[in-house]
Chain A
Amino acid sequence: MAIVTIVQTSLGKMRTGTFVAAALLAPVAGQAQSEAPTFETFSAPSLNFYGLPGVMDMPNADMLPDGQFALSYSLFAGQSRYNMTFQPFPWMTGTFRYNGIQDLNLFGYSTYYDRSFDLKFRLAKEGKYRPQLALGLQDFIGTGVYSGEYLVASKNFATPSLSAGRAKGNLKLSFGLGWGRLGTNGSIGKLGGTRPRFSGGTGGLVAYDSWFRGNFAPFAGVEWQADDRWTLKAEYSSDAYRTETRRSNVFDRKSQLNFGVEYKASERWRFGGYYMYGSEIGFSAQMQINPKHPALPKRVAAPVPIVPRSQWATDPAMWNQEWAASEKLRLTVRDQVKGEIAKENLVMTALDIDASATRAQLRVRNTTYRSPALALGRVARAMSRSLPASVETFGIVIESQGVGTSEFIVRRSDLEALENSPEGADGILSVATVRDVGPVSDTAMLTEELYPDFTRSIAPYTAPAYFDPNKPFRLDVGIEFKGTYLPAPGWKISGAVRHRLAGDVKNGRASNSVLPHVRTDQSRYAQYDTTLKNLYVTRQWKAGPNLYARGSFGYFESMFGGLSGELLWKPVNSRLAIGVEANYLKQRDYNQQFGFRNYDVWSGFVSAYYEAGQDYLVQLDVGRYLAGDIGATMTVTRTFDNGWELGGFFTLTDVSAADFGEGSFDKGLIVRVPLGWMLGKPSRNTNSTVIRPIQRDGGQRANTPDHLYRQVRDNHRRNIYQQRSGFWE
């Protein structure tokens, strides 16, 4: 049990221990390959107290698996940290953190709450003998209580399993140099003069002038994963906790050594108990998920296979084209097709058959499947089994709110030939065309019973308010009544009424903003139990080739109502889209009934959307915001084909950092979670959340309804192609 002794010795001995261990243990090598191939499996590396892969207070050089999303909590000595971590690139990890330090009694707060962002970059991958190397920026944009930088190297060694039948172990050794907060204990040198000291200011500015400046100190960590459940950890911390222990008296630091034991309760959950700085007990909980690895794999009922016409239309008479001339026969065919489409849980809205009875265009409302390819495959099969043999060309138009977004054109004989082909998915996409589509033609046979249509729901709602220094998390809960009325294609009238049952958002702090209070009067808006959340009319239409339009009018959201118009240019095969939105907005009364307050604004944007490849979506909006400020918003999102989106944005406007207030400029994170990912069955619903470290009035936009870009992009060439294997599923 040499390893256990290493864990329990002090740093001085640890260095020799490391050497011994390195000599005894073989570096991790590739496994023998006699097993069947596997998919990349889900794995969840252990996180440190800051939510990044690491030991306890110290980082290691690990990255999370690409696309990973983690939520973690850690606590010791009244210092709690809530971390949200994302791995947007294989070589970069990002963390957003909310932390509280009890009894700090500095900067005018007894418990000090703060938010911070970290980034960690992989500089070199682990090799057979070479360690992995990473560089980190801790709290690089906030007020800087945790600010520090580090360079860290880590190396893994396989260790034998403890007993027969148990998983093999792994020993990870890390060594690093820290600056800033991570260079406060046992510093061994100094770079570039004295570093500015943390003073609890407004924050929000990137503090690049202090990066890697001042004292630097070494730190080290040992993590021994004994089997697939238990991990033992020890570290030598280079953080002296100066602010907490010298300027204040949060806890008593007696040692720089920390010890911990962690238990992996399941693939996704890990819990840890720790002994910190020779005096304190600590605790952590970590949850990790990966959009690429659904909670449950999606299960869709098997489709009905295509029966080639050569098997059932053997009589030449069955290929006649005269039926298209008879209105009665056309309607019979329409009803037949409509019935088959309904069996796939889709809604046919129109069917157009040309005079020669060789071409059919079917328009469909996709209420079920997230994947457009899957929906197209189901429609194509339904058409194959319900249209007369003479129809050879199928055009399938997926509509969004009554507007066709693209036409997928495929030959019926290709469908018949490729269903069981080894390269069926690639094959069908190479012979099919996706093209722009106009409005419904005059000759189309419409599905009559679709309009008017009314849907309603009653569901509980929650309305959280985050990060008030006096109470970081407030929540309102209640019931929401929602109704949507579709009078005609493209038209929608929608409204929602909320009734609050309980909550404390109304006790939030009053606004101290010097700008028009376009967003910071949240607590004033929360004084009322029954409110009209929204009520608006919206219309969408195709304004020209590749051009989509929307006009909306009404109460858009709890704080603003008015008029909104949007135009979007997006060719089906293009990575680029350009949009224009113009709004006249009036601020709603606090009571959120029908009245307005005495503030109105013209707000509008020119937006460019670009699919940058590798599932990254970049969006730039330039225009005028709610407070009348002028500027631009940059949004980068990692979009997964299963509906997950994880991204971040920031907005810079002509409002000065001082006028903006805490945070200096608007920024935040976006998380969209598709319901189907959790349920393991097809669903088009998605929950989206925007988290801002602080809500101010600069750089704010109104939530005008039904933005066009996502509706349109969903059914365009790239999405269909990326998800092509779903066509035959």
Chain B
Amino acid sequence: MRRLTQLICALVALAVLGACGSSESTQGAFYKTELFEEIKTVVKARRAPPPQPTVLTRALLDTLDAPHLEVKIEKDDAVGFVLPQLVRRDELPGEIVTWRAADNATITLRDGVLIATRGMTGYNLIAASTLVEEGGAQGPSTSGPRRYTLRIGNEKQQSFSFACDLVSLGPKSLEIVELTYATTHLQERCASAEGEIVNDYWVDSKTGRVWQSRQWAGPSIGYLTIRQLTI
């Protein structure tokens, strides 16, 4: 509703301030045409029925071929599912996996630590440094500095630098859709002049895999809870 009101306000404002100027782009759609198209899209979206929540069972998950993560955006209470798009390495430690959702949003994890989001609603996390180590278990392996960089509303970039303390909260038996894993609960407590964040990782005691995590993706997107549903 808010969105539609906003678009209609924009139209009224255009009518009053109107036609002294015009669109600068001579290619592609013209200003008003584009605005009308958007209003049509919004009206259509409002008429569509709300999506049904997916009920997860292990039996259902067993039918999937590819690895799947469940990503929950805490702030919106929204859940999405992502599949790996690319697995690679670079000069820094850790294996990088980019996971993609059907709606063209991605998250990128370096050894299970969130280093980027793309295509999500809000200001995306462009990059983040990590404290992962080559070889050992996934997740952070030490205390130290971390830095998050985001693209903000005026198209500029803004960074947040933290001093992070890694704390082990001991063994924890973790259940993810009918399966139980023996994990270690690691907590990364990061402080800065602007505020504090806490990232949680549940790391498999034997294989070193991060089965579940709750990580900060910046002030706009907030915390994400990420669970590995299938491997």
* Contacts from A to B (Cβ < 8 Å): 33-39, 291-297, 299-305, 307-308, 311, 365, 367-368, 370-371, 401, 416-417, 419-425, 455, 457, 459-464, 473, 475, 477, 482, 484, 492, 494, 640-642, 671-672, 675, 678-679, 683-691, 706, 710, 722-726, 728-729
* Cβ-based interface call for B180 (8 A): no
Q: How far is the CA of A336 from the CA of B228 in the complex (A)?
A: 36
* Cβ-based interface call for B168 (8 A): no
Contacts of B105 in A (CB 8 A): 302
Contact A417/B91 with A462-B18, A725-B149 known, Cβ cut-off 8 Å: yes
Q: How far is the CA of A296 from the CA of B116 in the complex (A)?
A: 21
Nearest CB to that of A427 among chain B residues?
A: B127
Contact A421/B219 with A291-B154, A685-B25 known, Cβ cut-off 8 Å: no
Contacts of B129 in A (CB 8 A): 422
Contact between A304 and B85, CB atoms less than 8 A apart? yes
Contact between A299 and B120, CB atoms less than 8 A apart? yes
Contacts of B91 in A (CB 8 A): 417
Contact A37/B160 with A307-B88, A464-B16 known, Cβ cut-off 8 Å: yes
Contact between B155 and A726, CB atoms less than 8 A apart? yes
Contacts of A34 in B (CB 8 A): 195-196
Contact A462/B154 with A304-B85, A492-B26 known, Cβ cut-off 8 Å: no
Interface string of B22-33 (1 = CB under 8 A from A): 111111111111
Q: How far is the CA of A336 from the CA of B7 in the complex (A)?
A: 38
Q: How far is the CA of A11 from the CA of B15 in the complex (A)?
A: 45
Interface string of B86-115 (1 = CB under 8 A from A): 101011100010101000111010100001
**Which of B17, B96, B100, B194 is in CB contact (< 8 Å) with A420?**
B96
Nearest CB to that of B12 among chain A residues?
A: A462
Contacts of A726 in B (CB 8 A): 151, 155
Contacts of A642 in B (CB 8 A): 153-155
Interface size range of chain B in the complex: 35 or more
Contact between A300 and B15, CB atoms less than 8 A apart? no
**Which of B24, B25, B118, B193 is in CB contact (< 8 Å) with A303?**
B118
Shortest CB-to-CB span from B144 to chain A, Å, is 12
* Cβ-based interface call for B6 (8 A): yes
**Which of B86, B96, B195 is in CB contact (< 8 Å) with A37?**
B195
Contact between A39 and B152, CB atoms less than 8 A apart? yes
**Which of B20, B98, B154, B219 is in CB contact (< 8 Å) with A305?**
B98
**Which of A300, A419, A678 is in CB contact (< 8 Å) with B7?**
A678
Q: How far is the CA of A427 from the CA of B28 in the complex (A)?
A: 32
Contact between B194 and A33, CB atoms less than 8 A apart? yes
Contact A425/B88 with A35-B196, A420-B110, A679-B38 known, Cβ cut-off 8 Å: no
Contact between A33 and B196, CB atoms less than 8 A apart? yes
Contact A686/B156 with A296-B3, A367-B25, A725-B150 known, Cβ cut-off 8 Å: no
* Cβ-based interface call for B14 (8 A): yes
Contact A36/B219 with A297-B153, A302-B105, A459-B32 known, Cβ cut-off 8 Å: yes
**Which of A461, A641, A678 is in CB contact (< 8 Å) with B19?**
A461
Q: How far is the CA of A724 from the CA of B155 in the complex (A)?
A: 8
* Cβ-based interface call for B197 (8 A): yes
Contact between B16 and A462, CB atoms less than 8 A apart? yes
Contacts of B35 in A (CB 8 A): 675, 678-679
Shortest CB-to-CB span from B15 to chain A, Å, is 4
Q: How far is the CA of A76 from the CA of B33 in the complex (A)?
A: 39
Nearest CB to that of B16 among chain A residues?
A: A464
Contacts of B110 in A (CB 8 A): 420
Q: How far is the CA of A297 from the CA of B219 in the complex (A)?
A: 13
* Cβ-based interface call for B119 (8 A): yes
